[in-house]
Structure 1
Amino acid sequence: MMVTLVVLAVLAAGAGRMGMIVVRFMRTYPAATVTALLLFLTLIAPVWFLIRALAYFDRRRPLVFMLAFAWGASVAPAVTIPASTALDSLIAKRIGPGFAAEWGAMIAGPSVEEIVKTLGILAVLLATRKSLTRALDGIVIGALVGLGFQICEDVVFAVGSVALQGDGDALTPVLTTFVVRGLLAGVTSHTIFSALAGAGLLHAIARHDRPIYYRIGVASAGVASAWISHVIWNSPISVLPEVPAGILLVLVVKMLVPLAALVFLVRRAHDQEATHYLAGLAALGDRSLITEAELSTLGSAARRARARRAAAAVAGRTGTQLMRALQQSQAALAVVVGRDGADYSHDLHRHVVQIRSLRLQLRGLGLGGEIPPFVILPAVSRDAACLPQRQAARLVELSIGIIPSEHRDRYGEEFYAELLSLAERRARPAAQLSYAANQFVSALMLRRELRVRDRR
């Protein structure tokens, strides 16, 4: 708790500092600042879709994502902007202005920026260490810290180029900066650097089964690889002419090694995560929930996509949607089993019901063949032919979450079973939403009653 409060306090200070800078930019170059923000914020989209694809099994909490991105976009630039300038000035005084002009960015940038970003990754991992334990977590958190910093740095560079041109609130320098730093370089610099550091730091925090010297070594290797990659990226060395094609080729060559290292780490982390969760799902021994072939398919994004295309070939868009929903429900069940085991809970019950219902719908479209006999939760109706209305189901889940955890399983099963009963009777969506709203109010009252009773 204390670590979280400290992180939030530092974030508030960093956000205040960067807010002042943005306000100053807006007063001087309003059109250029707004354009730069809108353009560079689009870099979030590809990274977000990639993270969603990688974290297929365990959808990490959005608040953790926001915390990591906020550190990179506020604290990191608030510290590194003056610190890098100071170190660059020191290099100019000690060695010479010419050396600083050519090599200062290669020395000052990585030395200051990677330290501050690494501290941010470490702070976020420590503040959320109970929920972030798998190798992929460090990569994702590191990438988001780097992405936040990269977007903020790009905006500062864009507005700075407007000031250097001296042509008022012009948009041409912003567009040029976006082409070079946004489209050509993309998210291949700070996002990759910090992802490498995050992978090493998470390993050091989570792998308690390893000796301390090994964990420190892995963390140091991750941070060092981020620093070396950044040094190479900022290096002025180039044997190609300063033309767009030459610049692009140099950027590609500079990023080959860190990108290859990150791809290797991501694939390994993804495979480890899939193996961990699918092992628990296979141990259930219930082929009505997932067959041997589906276990193999679920562990690979390419095989999941192939299964959806096969469903589309038979049943069109409906087949694709149902197959995607089945895969997502199976992945969610795998996470529940990996987290809580096979003991009965309302989460387990909900996913089992969803999977069996989807199987029946797929079978009705000529997909999936015969449904194997049920093994776990045999009391769940085999005749459930539809799922509850989505918003109603989410509201019921929210209602269940309001109930104190020690009573959640008892009341959660009742709440969701009644909604499922409405869905089976083909109740209108409005009726299901009305039931869910009533359950939400009831959950608030029940929470108060249970807490009063528990205090006695």
Structure 2
Amino acid sequence: MSADLLETRSQALEATAWGEKFRFIQPRNIVFWIYLWMCGVGVVKAWQMFAPYSGYFGQALLVAGVVSVISAAVWTWWFRHIDRYERQPVGLVLTGFVWGASAATFTIAISGNSALGSLYSKLFGQVWAEDWHAGLSAPFVEETAKGIGIVVLLALAPRLVRTATDGLLLGAFIGLGFQTSEDFLYSVVGATQGFGAHQTDGLIGSIALRAYSDIVSHPLFTALFCAGVIYLIGTPAQPRRIRRGLALIVAPILIHGVWDSMLALAGGNSSIVLVVMVGDIIFALTALWIAFVWAHPRESHFVRDVLAPEIESGVLTDDEVTAAGGWRQQRAYVRAAQTRPERRQRRHIVRAALDLCGDLAVSKGLDSPEVVEARNEITRLRHGIAAGSQSSVGTSSA
């Protein structure tokens, strides 16, 4: 392999820190102790809030907890699925999730929202505060509380939080933690309405409402916000982009504010509420798509740098490395195949190329047993395509 290509690979792995481990216990890092204190305070406040309901409302709390866990598991599977390149260490992901579920929710957001609500009532009156409190407090307080989480992760793992994609994915898990606690909180509120006379009915209604509203919720908001923080701060792998950073920080605040103020904005008109809701969803999904479009070229560039020596050695082709760099490139590569089995095998090759990229990251570019096995798997898949193509041609000729 070319020395220049190997050096470029080494530089890419150094810049991204792909494959490195996360160490949570850092007694010499003041942020570690701040994290423990903030999350500990959140856990204590959550216990103080829910413990009085554990007797009479025990069944409702259990059901709400189970539903919250299932919801979190489904979202976790999805977020890990779209983590296309080198996946973040599980420990780092859990650290972000716990921040969102405890510190951001119970230590900061609940107190901050209550304080702003009280202030709005005193300044503008109770009626105005009821209409606009949610839309003019939660977006600022909650997005800031969750956004602090990515700064904490940057301080705990500066070599692992490097790109806008890292901000998007870790932000999504921070938001998922917040959403899980919020869903549980609202489910309990629903179960306790009417002095608990119809716990199940109230709980089911709350769960259904939260499941619907979670389509545009905290994982999306926080993913955008945290990617914006990465752009705003800049890292060795991500040059500072102030305009992008500000845009991605403002966007979720605006989306969140409109979502929480739909009834006030529409004046109670259900038709206008529907229009505002659809418009906000479209804007939110568009903003998320733009964020991934902005982040993609940087990650794709690093993938090519890591896999370029494999092209020279004949393990991968240029088209396969290009396909590994993005969903759009992968679709084009797969659709160019002649037969369905070949398309299926091409998908496997792209996945195997990404696995090879991950193994190379772990081994720091060395030929570890995992790297050798990944290369052998790619060769096997390619021979399978060739055999399948020849079989198809032979059948057609016959």
- TM-score interval, normalised by the smaller of the two chains: 0.7 to 0.9
Q: Which residue pairs with 2:370 in the alignment? A: 350
Q: Which residue pairs with 2:321 in the alignment? A: 295
Q: Is 1:30 equivalent to 2:58 in the alignment?
A: yes
Report SS of the residue matched to 1:290: coil
1:246, distance to aligned residue in structure 2 (A): 7.1
1:69, distance to aligned residue in structure 2 (A): 1.0
1:152, distance to aligned residue in structure 2 (A): 1.2
Report SS of the residue matched to 1:56: coil
Amino acid of the residue matched to residue 273 of structure 1? E
Q: Is 1:193 equivalent to 2:225 in the alignment?
A: no
Q: Which residue pairs with 2:231 in the alignment? A: 203
Identity rate, percent: 23
Q: Which residue pairs with 1:89 in the alignment? A: 118
Alignment TM-score, normalising by the size of structure 2: 0.78
Aligned partners of 2:319, 2:238: CA distance in 1, in Å? 35
1:219, distance to aligned residue in structure 2 (A): 4.1
Pair 24,249 (structure 1): closer, same or farther in 2 beyond 3 Å: farther
Q: Is 1:257 equivalent to 2:283 in the alignment?
A: yes
Q: Is 1:238 equivalent to 2:266 in the alignment?
A: yes
Pair 148,252 (structure 1): closer, same or farther in 2 beyond 3 Å: farther
Contact 1:274 1:299 in 2 (8 A): yes
Aligned partners of 2:243, 2:66: CA distance in 1, in Å? 40
Pair 210,45 (structure 1): closer, same or farther in 2 beyond 3 Å: closer
Aligned partners of 2:190, 2:58: CA distance in 1, in Å? 14
Candidates 170, 182, 194, aligned match of 1:165: 194
Aligned partners of 2:197, 2:354: CA distance in 1, in Å? 54
Aligned partners of 2:236, 2:32: CA distance in 1, in Å? 22
Report SS of the residue matched to 1:289: coil
Report SS of the residue matched to 2:265: coil
1:210, distance to aligned residue in structure 2 (A): 8.5
1:93, distance to aligned residue in structure 2 (A): 1.8
Pair 228,134 (structure 1): closer, same or farther in 2 beyond 3 Å: same
1:33-69, Cα deviation, whole Å (9 max, x unpaired): 2222222333324432332233222111111111111
Give ranges in structure 2 of 5+ residues lacking alignment: 1-25, 391-398
1:67-98, Cα deviation, whole Å (9 max, x unpaired): 11111111112122233122212211222111
Report SS of the residue matched to 2:199: coil
Q: How much is the aligned-residue C-alpha RMSD, in angstroms?
A: 3.3
Amino acid of the residue matched to residue 121 of structure 2? A
Higher relative contact order (CA 8 A, sep 6+): 2
Amino acid of the residue matched to residue 355 of structure 1? R
Contact 1:71 1:148 in 2 (8 A): yes
Pair 20,327 (structure 1): closer, same or farther in 2 beyond 3 Å: farther
Candidates 270, 273, 277, aligned match of 2:299: 273
Aligned residues: 358
Question: Greater CA deviation, 94-103 or 167-176?
Answer: 167-176
Candidates 33, 41, 49, aligned match of 1:21: 49
Candidates 173, 198, 202, aligned match of 1:144: 173
Pair 221,150 (structure 1): closer, same or farther in 2 beyond 3 Å: same
Amino acid of the residue matched to residue 56 of structure 1? R
Contact 1:276 1:338 in 2 (8 A): no
Aligned partners of 2:157, 2:196: CA distance in 1, in Å? 47
Amino acid of the residue matched to residue 251 of structure 1? M
Aligned partners of 1:49, 1:125: CA distance in 2, in Å? 24
Q: Which residue pairs with 2:7 in the alignment? A: none
Aligned partners of 1:132, 1:113: CA distance in 2, in Å? 22
Aligned partners of 1:20, 1:179: CA distance in 2, in Å? 26
Contact 1:197 1:226 in 2 (8 A): yes
Q: Is 1:125 equivalent to 2:154 in the alignment?
A: yes
Candidates 325, 330, 350, aligned match of 1:327: 350
Contact 2:54 2:61 in 1 (8 A): yes
Candidates 48, 69, 84, aligned match of 1:41: 69
Pair 209,162 (structure 1): closer, same or farther in 2 beyond 3 Å: closer
1:339-398, Cα deviation, whole Å (9 max, x unpaired): 8765x342xx5223332245236525754889xxxxxxxxxxxxxxxxxxxxxxxxxxxx
Aligned partners of 1:134, 1:19: CA distance in 2, in Å? 36
Aligned partners of 2:287, 2:39: CA distance in 1, in Å? 30
1:5-24, Cα deviation, whole Å (9 max, x unpaired): 32233222222322333333
Alignment of 1:386-405 (within 5 A): none
Larger radius of gyration: 1
Report SS of the residue matched to 2:216: coil
Q: Is 1:115 equivalent to 2:140 in the alignment?
A: no
Aligned partners of 1:249, 1:32: CA distance in 2, in Å? 34
Give ranges in structure 1 of 5+ residues lacking alignment: 371-456
Candidates 77, 88, 92, aligned match of 1:60: 88
Contact 1:359 1:368 in 2 (8 A): no
Contact 1:278 1:334 in 2 (8 A): no
Contact 1:31 1:169 in 2 (8 A): no
Alignment TM-score, normalising by the size of structure 1: 0.69
Contact 1:83 1:112 in 2 (8 A): yes
Report SS of the residue matched to 1:185: helix
Aligned partners of 2:251, 2:328: CA distance in 1, in Å? 30
Aligned partners of 2:92, 2:269: CA distance in 1, in Å? 43
Q: Which residue pairs with 1:360 in the alignment? A: 380
Report SS of the residue matched to 1:59: coil
